[in-house]
C-alpha cells in the first residue's frame, strides 16, 4: 500500500506576495450567491492539455462549488461552469501568475497556495468572474493580519481544506442537543490541516492570530491518526490508512470559544425557543443559547469496497449539517467514488472513469480505528477546586454576560478576586487542550475519588501563541459534569451527594474557567 507522505516544504518567503493587499474577503459578506456567468466568455480559452474531464472530488489540483469548477494545470488556474462548457484561464494578479501550487474551494471563497506555502484568498466565487478578486491578508485583527501559511508539516496532498459557512448558503448549525442556531451575518471561515503524524488538526482562521495554537482534537481522545482530511461548511471528514472514517461539525464560534459574539450555556436549553437571528440569540436570554460542549466526532460506516485517500465533503445546504461525503475508489475495476449523505447509513458507488487521484488504502471491513493511535499527551495535571463562596467564578461570568472566553482566571487573582480552596481537588491524566471531553477525577476532602467528565473549549487569544501546553498559561473555558452513572447515585452515595449538593449546586454540570501550563492548572 502507498500512503500519503509529508512533502518536503519549500522555505517560506518572509511574507506573501504584496500586489494583493486588500480584497472583498476582508469585508462583511455581500449579496447571496447568483452563479452569474457574465464575463466568463471574455476570458481566454485554455489551449493546452491536462484539464480534467470530470471534477467530482476536491483535491489540491481541482475544486468545485455549486456553479464553477476550477483546476490547476501546472501553475495555470482554469475554470468552467459546473459540468459543462469550455475551460478558460482565470486572470491572476501579477504577483500570483505562475506561482500557485495548490487550491481549495468552499462556498464563495477559494484559497491558492504558492511555493512558499503562503495563503491567498479569492472572494465572490459564487458570482460573476468580473467580481472575483484576491487578497494576501489573513489573521487578526479582522482579516487584516500580515498573512498565513500552511504549516510546514502538513500532510499532503489530501490533508487540508478550506471550510466556509456563510449566512446566505448555509445559514445555521446544530449544537450538541440538535438545536438549530443562526450562523450570524459574518462567515465562519477556517483552514483545518492535518500535521505531523496525522493525529493533530490545527486550523487557521482569518480573524485569529497567525499561529499554530488553535487545534481541533482528533477522534478517540485526540489520538486518531488520519491520512486525509476534507471540510466544507464547518463539517470535517477524516480517514485513516485502514478506511476508518469520522466526521465532526466544528468551528471556533460554534464550539464555545467566542463569547464576544455568541452566547453559550452548559445547561440544557429545553423549553426555550430558538432565536431568529444572532443578535436576538446574543441578547435575548428568553431564547436558547448554544448548548455546550461542542458536538464530538461521529464514526461513519465503512465502505464495502476499494477506496483511496482522496476524500471530499460538500455542502448541500442551505440548512444545518446538509452535507455529502465522497470517497474515491473502484468497483469491478472501474474508477469512481462512493457517496452518501452525512447522516445516511449506506454508501452508493458512482462510476466516473479516469485515473485515481489518491493512493489506495488498506480498507478492511473491521474497525481498525484504534490500530495506529498516537501516544497520549504527557500533561498530567491537578488543581484545587475553588470555594463556591468566591465572588467571581465561571458561573458568575456567564450569569452577568461577561465574555468569559477572554478572561483568564489568573487575572482574577491578580486583581484581588481570589478564591479560597473548597477542599475538593480535580485531577486529569494526559490532558490534551485540543480535546473537548475527557475523563477526570474529583477527590473529596476525605480522600474519596469521584469520576467526572471535564469539558473544555479554547479561550480567545488575540496574540500569537504556541500549540499545546507550555510554560505560558493557556486559557480555556469548561465545565465539570457528573457522568450518568455517577449522577444516578447522588441520593445514595454520601460522597457524591455531598459534592452534588455543595460544589455542584445541585446541578449535573457546572461551568468553570481554566488556566493551564505544562505543569499546573488553575480553576475558577
Same domain, 173 and 222: yes
Residue 172 falls inside a structural domain: yes
> Residue 298 in contact with residue 321, Cβ under 8 Å?
no
Residue 345 falls inside a structural domain: yes
Instruction: Identify the band that residue 245 occupies on the pLDDT scale cut at 50, 70 and 90.
Output: very high
Same domain, 86 and 201: yes
- State how many domains the chain has: 2
Same domain, 403 and 487: yes
* Averaged pLDDT for residues 252-260: 90
> Residue 1 in contact with residue 362, Cβ under 8 Å?
yes
Same domain, 131 and 265: yes
Q: pTM here?
A: 0.94
Domain boundary among 361, 390, 410: 361
Residue 15 falls inside a structural domain: no
Residue 369 falls inside a structural domain: no
Model confidence pLDDT, tens digit, residues 192-211: 999 999 999 999 999 999 99
> Residue 247 in contact with residue 391, Cβ under 8 Å?
no
Residue 23 falls inside a structural domain: no
Which residue segment(s) compose the domain that 421 sits in? 381-523
> Facing residues of 138 across strands?
146
- Mean pLDDT over all residues of the chain? 93
Same domain, 328 and 189: yes
Residue 11 falls inside a structural domain: no
DSSP strand pairing (509-516 vs 521-523): antiparallel
> Facing residues of 248 across strands?
236
Domain boundary among 303, 332, 361: 361
- The pLDDT of residue 11 is 52
Model confidence pLDDT, tens digit, residues 404-432: 778 888 888 888 888 999 999 999 999 99
H-helix segments, 206-365: 219-222, 278-283
Residue 9 falls inside a structural domain: no
Same domain, 346 and 404: no
Same domain, 105 and 195: yes
Encode burial over 494-503: b for 16+ CB neighbours within 10 A, e otherwise.
ebbebbbeeb
Same domain, 338 and 447: no
Q: Which residues neighbour 26 within 8 Å (Cβ) at sequence distance 6 or greater?
A: 135, 137, 142, 143, 144, 206
The cell for 128 is: 460573476
Model confidence pLDDT, tens digit, residues 473-505: 999 999 999 999 999 999 999 999 999 999 999
Same domain, 392 and 323: no
* Averaged pLDDT for residues 112-129: 97
> If you count them, how many residues does the chain have?
524
Residue 397 is classified by DSSP as H
Same domain, 261 and 406: no
Residue 113 falls inside a structural domain: yes
Please tell me whether residue 124 adopts helix, strand or coil conformation.
coil
Distances in whole angstroms, Cα of residue 182 to Cα of each of 109, 253, 278, 291:
20, 11, 6, 13
Euclidean distance between the first and final Cα of the chain, in Å?
A: 50
> Looking at residue 145, which CATH number applies to its domain?
2.120.10
Domain boundary among 361, 389, 422: 361
What totals of helices (H) and strands (E) does the chain contain, helices first? 6, 32
DSSP string, 428-441: ESS--TT-SEEEEE
Same domain, 50 and 172: yes
Instruction: Identify the band that residue 3 occupies on the pLDDT scale cut at 50, 70 and 90.
Output: very low
The cell for 184 is: 450570524
Same domain, 60 and 106: yes
- The pLDDT of residue 209 is 94
Amino acid at each position: 500500500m502507498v500512503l500519503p507522505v509529508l512533502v518536503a516544504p519549500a522555505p517560506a518567503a518572509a511574507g506573501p506576495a504584496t500586489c494583493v493587499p486588500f480584497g472583498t474577503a476582508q469585508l462583511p459578506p455581500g449579496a447571496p450567491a447568483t452563479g452569474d456567468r457574465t464575463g466568463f466568455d471574455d476570458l481566454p480559452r485554455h489551449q493546452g492539455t491536462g484539464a480534467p474531464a470530470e471534477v467530482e472530488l476536491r483535491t489540491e489540483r481541482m475544486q468545485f462549488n455549486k456553479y464553477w469548477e476550477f483546476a490547476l494545470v501546472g501553475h495555470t488556474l482554469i475554470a468552467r461552469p459546473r459540468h459543462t462548457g469550455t475551460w478558460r484561464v482565470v486572470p491572476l494578479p501579477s504577483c500570483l501568475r505562475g506561482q500557485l501550487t495548490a487550491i481549495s474551494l468552499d462556498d464563495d471563497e477559494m484559497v491558492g497556495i504558492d511555493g512558499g506555502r503562503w495563503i491567498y484568498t479569492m472572494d465572490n466565487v459564487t458570482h460573476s468572474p468580473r467580481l472575483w478578486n484576491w487578497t494576501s491578508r489573513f489573521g487578526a485583527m479582522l482579516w487584516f493580519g500580515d498573512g498565513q501559511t500552511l504549516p510546514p508539516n502538513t500532510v499532503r496532498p489530501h490533508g487540508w481544506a478550506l471550510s466556509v459557512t456563510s449566512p446566505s448558503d448555509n445559514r445555521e448549525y446544530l449544537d450538541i442537543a440538535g438545536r438549530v442556531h443562526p450562523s450570524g451575518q459574518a462567515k465562519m471561515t477556517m483552514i483545518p490541516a492535518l500535521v505531523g503524524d496525522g493525529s493533530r488538526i490545527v486550523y487557521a482562521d482569518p480573524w485569529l492570530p497567525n499561529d499554530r495554537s488553535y487545534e481541533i482534537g482528533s477522534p478517540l481522545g485526540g489520538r486518531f491518526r488520519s491520512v486525509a482530511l476534507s471540510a466544507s461548511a464547518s463539517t470535517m471528514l477524516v480517514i485513516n490508512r485502514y478506511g476508518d472514517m469520522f466526521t465532526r461539525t466544528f468551528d471556533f464560534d460554534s464550539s464555545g470559544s467566542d463569547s464576544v459574539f455568541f452566547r453559550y450555556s452548559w445547561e440544557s436549553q429545553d423549553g426555550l425557543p430558538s432565536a431568529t437571528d444572532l443578535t436576538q440569540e446574543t441578547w435575548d436570554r428568553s431564547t436558547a443559547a448554544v448548548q455546550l460542549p461542542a458536538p464530538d466526532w461521529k464514526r461513519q460506516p465503512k465502505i464495502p469496497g476499494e477506496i483511496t485517500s482522496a476524500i471530499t465533503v460538500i455542502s448541500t445546504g442551505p440548512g444545518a449539517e446538509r452535507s455529502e461525503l465522497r470517497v474515491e475508489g473502484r468497483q469491478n475495476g472501474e474508477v469512481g467514488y462512493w457517496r452518501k449523505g452525512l447522516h445516511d447509513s449506506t454508501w452508493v458507488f458512482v462510476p466516473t472513469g479516469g485515473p485515481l487521484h489518491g493512493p489506495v488504502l488498506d480498507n478492511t471491513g473491521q474497525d481498525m480505528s484504534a490500530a495506529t493511535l498516537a501516544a497520549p499527551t504527557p500533561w498530567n495535571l491537578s488543581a484545587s477546586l475553588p470555594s463556591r463562596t468566591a465572588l467571581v467564578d465561571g458561573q458568575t461570568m456567564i450569569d452577568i454576560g461577561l465574555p468569559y472566553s477572554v478572561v483568564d482566571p489568573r487575572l482574577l487573582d491578580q486583581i484581588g478576586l481570589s478564591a479560597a480552596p473548597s477542599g475538593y481537588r480535580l485531577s486529569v491524566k494526559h490532558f490534551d487542550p485540543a480535546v473537548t471531553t475527557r475523563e477526570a477525577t474529583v477527590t473529596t476532602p476525605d480522600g474519596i475519588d469521584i469520576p467526572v467528565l471535564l469539558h473544555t473549549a479554547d479561550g480567545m487569544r488575540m496574540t500569537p501563541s504556541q500549540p499545546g501546553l507550555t510554560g505560558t498559561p493557556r486559557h480555556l473555558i469548561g465545565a465539570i459534569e457528573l457522568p450518568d452513572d455517577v449522577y444516578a447515585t447522588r441520593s445514595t452515595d454520601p460522597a457524591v451527594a455531598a459534592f452534588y449538593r455543595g460544589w455542584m449546586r445541585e446541578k449535573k454540570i457546572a461551568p468553570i474557567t481554566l488556566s493551564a501550563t505544562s505543569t499546573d492548572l488553575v480553576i475558577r
